[in-house]
Amino acid sequence: MAKAKKQPRPKAVTPKGFRDYFGEEVTQRSHMLGQIADVYHHYGFDALESSAVETVEALGKFLPDVDRPNEGVFAWQEADENDKGDWMALRYDLTAPLARVYAQHRNDLPSPYRRYAMGPVWRNEKPGPGRYRQFYQCDADTVGTASMAADAEICMMLSDTLERVGIPRGDYLVRVNNRKVLNGVLEAMGLAEDDPKRDDVLRTIDKFDKVGEAGVRELLTKGRLDASGAFIDGVGLGDAQADPVIAFLTSKAADVAGTMANLHNAVGDSKVGVEGINELEQIGELLAAGGYGDDQVLIDPSIVRGLGYYTGPVFEAELTFEILDEKGRKRQFGSVSGGGRYDGLVKRFTGQEVPAVGVSIGVDRLLAALREKGRLAATPTGPVVVTVMDRARMADYQAMVAELRNAGIRAEVYLGNPKNFGNQLKYADKRNSPIAVIEGGEEKERGVVQIKDLRVGTLVSQSSSDNQKWAENLQQKTVDRSSLVSSVSEMLKRGSPRLDAEGNIVDASGSLLLPKEYLL
């Protein structure tokens, strides 16, 4: 074999827009995915895992939120003899592969087909802060039924899921709206389905959050001077023509019945509009029958996000608690999940319309929310580290670590160069180890080991240097070699020692370890 030419060293960098996840970042996510899968499974949804790769043809041009249908995916051409292989691409979401799978396997799948899927998706987009080109989605969809019971079920399941992962009632809200009601509003305004002004109206509705009722009215009619002093052209509708939009956006009343009455006003006698309202009423009844209250799932015509993509009911789950943004301002955490009813995805393949409804949870955002709220284990616990005092007695240390593991304690032996003991403790610190085990030659002779509580370190730094002595006492214990496991186990159980409000040293549960009188 000819020797390869000397090449410059490759750069060790994560590709642009991608990132690595370490330790707890990985395990917390997989724990959450497990919890979500559990709820989905409980509702009768079955798992589906399709491959990351699809043909570009099968993926289609259905990228939501994106105006450039041909961009946005990572794609390549398969090599074959004539270099004319198929184009392949990484999936950009979990819905397009579902449509392909359903079209391909529909004769073998139960109908309706409830499935959930979780995994990474890829977007070939300009990365930004906190915006990566690979991220997780976690979807549940019901394919093959037009029944509103499917939509209601997904709302209930979303509510259950949020509570299951640790968002208590009151800290979230699933809001439900219906694209058909909006279509009814457009009809009531006298805008035909192909009227280009429909798009203008949709864009204006999206600004309701920012400019309010009066602002929307101005934008729909004669135009508006914005905060910077620039004039924004209006859509040019008459004042009366704008009324249904305003009625729609402000239709939320104190109770569902009131909201429904307002919506009826907004859509007038538009057939599709009335159908949409009936669907919302059905969903409301089913939610009530399932025992879900307005504090969990709410019919709310003010949510408009995603209305463009969906064809019937739409849902959005928001976290309602406040966090501080990067500039220290309070703001609501916002949306962590969205979904709705969509048609046409399967039809692309089969020619037959197949009604479907689904939801997608932004797992990484939800994790971020739980971190913000301190609902994820704050300090992950590293392994107990058995230090190496005598390189020739590795087998002794190995035996200790095996005993600890067999007792269910996460433990490891130090595998680096044991010469410098300080390095071993630095290593244990980096590993977040709660405890180090030490057995030098002297201890070995006496049949004892020392166990050192590494969590006391922070305590020491909180106290005067005069208190080093008791800290050391609390920190280090000499125990019989034969009681290694029980002593480590006990020390683990007492948790991180800390100072209480009075200045005593207590264990994690608040039990007294050392009264303040003993402290200098």
Q: Applying CB under 8 A, which part among 99-107, 264-272, 316-324, 336-344 lies near its own copies?
A: 99-107
Give the residue carrying structure tokens 């694209």. 179
Residues in region 8-37 near its own copies by CB under 8 A? 9-16, 18-27, 30, 34, 37
CB closer to its own copies, 394 vs 513: 394
Report the C-alpha gap between 350 and 343 in whole angstroms: 13
CB of 187 closer than 8 Å to CB of 206: no
The enclosing H or E element of 58 equals helix 56-59
Angle at 90 between CA 88 and CA 94, to 5 degrees: 125
Report the C-alpha gap between 64 and 205 in whole angstroms: 19
**Residue 164 binding its own copies, by CB under 8 A:** no
Residues in region 249-288 near its own copies by CB under 8 A? 282, 285-286, 288
Minimum CB separation from its own copies for residue 309, in Å?
15
**Residue 137 binding its own copies, by CB under 8 A:** no
Report the C-alpha gap between 467 and 470 in whole angstroms: 6
The closest of 14, 124, 136 to 74, measured between CA atoms, is 124
Minimum CB separation from its own copies for residue 142, in Å?
6
Q: Applying CB under 8 A, which part among 5-13, 312-320, 324-332, 489-497 lies near its own copies?
A: 5-13
**Residue 57 binding its own copies, by CB under 8 A:** yes
Residues in region 360-419 near its own copies by CB under 8 A? 382-383, 385, 394-399, 401-402, 405-406, 408, 410-413, 415-416
Q: Is 310 annotated as a binding residue?
A: yes
Count CB neighbours of 511 within 10 A.
9
Minimum CB separation from its own copies for residue 41, in Å?
7
**Residue 348 binding its own copies, by CB under 8 A:** yes
Q: Is 348 annotated as a binding residue?
A: no
**Residue choice 156, 189, 369, 425 for contact with its own copies (CB under 8 A):** 156
Residues in region 408-467 near its own copies by CB under 8 A? 408, 410-413, 415-416, 427, 430-431
CB closer to its own copies, 147 vs 463: 147
CB of 184 closer than 8 Å to CB of 270: yes
**Residue 64 binding its own copies, by CB under 8 A:** no
**Residue 158 binding its own copies, by CB under 8 A:** no
**Residue choice 49, 65, 490, 500 for contact with its own copies (CB under 8 A):** 49
Q: What tokens were used for 235?
A: 């859509």
**Residue 481 binding its own copies, by CB under 8 A:** no
Count CB neighbours of 46 within 10 A.
13
In the shown chain, the binding pattern of residues 494 to 513 toward its own copies, with x for contact by CB under 8 A and - for none, equals --------------------
The 8-class DSSP code of residue 200 comes to H
Q: Is 397 helix (H, G, I), strand (E, B) or coil?
A: helix
107-146 burial, b for 16+ CB within 10 Å, e for fewer? eebeebbbbbbbbebbbebeeeeeebbebbbbbbbbbbbb
**Backbone phi and psi for residue 284, each to the nearest 5 degrees, phi listed first:** -60, -45
Q: What residues pair up with 413 in beta bridges, in sequence order? A: 386
Report the C-alpha gap between 29 and 134 in whole angstroms: 14
At position 268, the amino acid (one-letter code) is G
**Residue 90 binding its own copies, by CB under 8 A:** yes
In angstroms, what CA-CA distances link 146 with 42, 197, 309? Answer: 22, 30, 17
CB closer to its own copies, 111 vs 462: 111
Minimum CB separation from its own copies for residue 103, in Å?
4
**Residue choice 129, 130, 229, 351 for contact with its own copies (CB under 8 A):** 351
Minimum CB separation from its own copies for residue 448, in Å?
19
CB closer to its own copies, 384 vs 506: 384
CB closer to its own copies, 330 vs 430: 430
Q: Applying CB under 8 A, which part among 3-11, 230-238, 359-367, 509-517 lies near its own copies?
A: 3-11
* DSSP conformation letters of 133-171: SEEEEEEEEEES---HHHHHHHHHHHHHHHHHHT--TTS
Q: Report how many residues bind its own copies under the rule CB under 8 A.
A: 101
The closest of 461, 459, 464, 511 to 490, measured between CA atoms, is 511
CB closer to its own copies, 319 vs 345: 345
**Residue 195 binding its own copies, by CB under 8 A:** no
Minimum CB separation from its own copies for residue 265, in Å?
26
The closest of 292, 2, 8, 12 to 163, measured between CA atoms, is 292
Q: Is 398 annotated as a binding residue?
A: no
Give the residue carrying structure tokens 């890829």. 122
In the shown chain, the binding pattern of residues 286 to 315 toward its own copies, with x for contact by CB under 8 A and - for none, equals x-xxxx------------------------
Q: Applying CB under 8 A, which part among 84-92, 179-187, 246-254, 324-332 lies near its own copies?
A: 84-92
The 8-class DSSP code of residue 9 comes to P
Minimum CB separation from its own copies for residue 166, in Å?
19
At position 111, the amino acid (one-letter code) is S
**Residue 198 binding its own copies, by CB under 8 A:** no
The closest of 41, 55, 519, 135 to 365, measured between CA atoms, is 135
For CA atoms 84, 85, 86, 90, the dihedral sign is negative
User: Which residues are part of a known binding site for L-histidine?
Assistant: 93-95, 123, 137, 141, 305, 309-310
User: Which residues are part of a known binding site?
Assistant: 93-95, 123, 137, 141, 305, 309-310
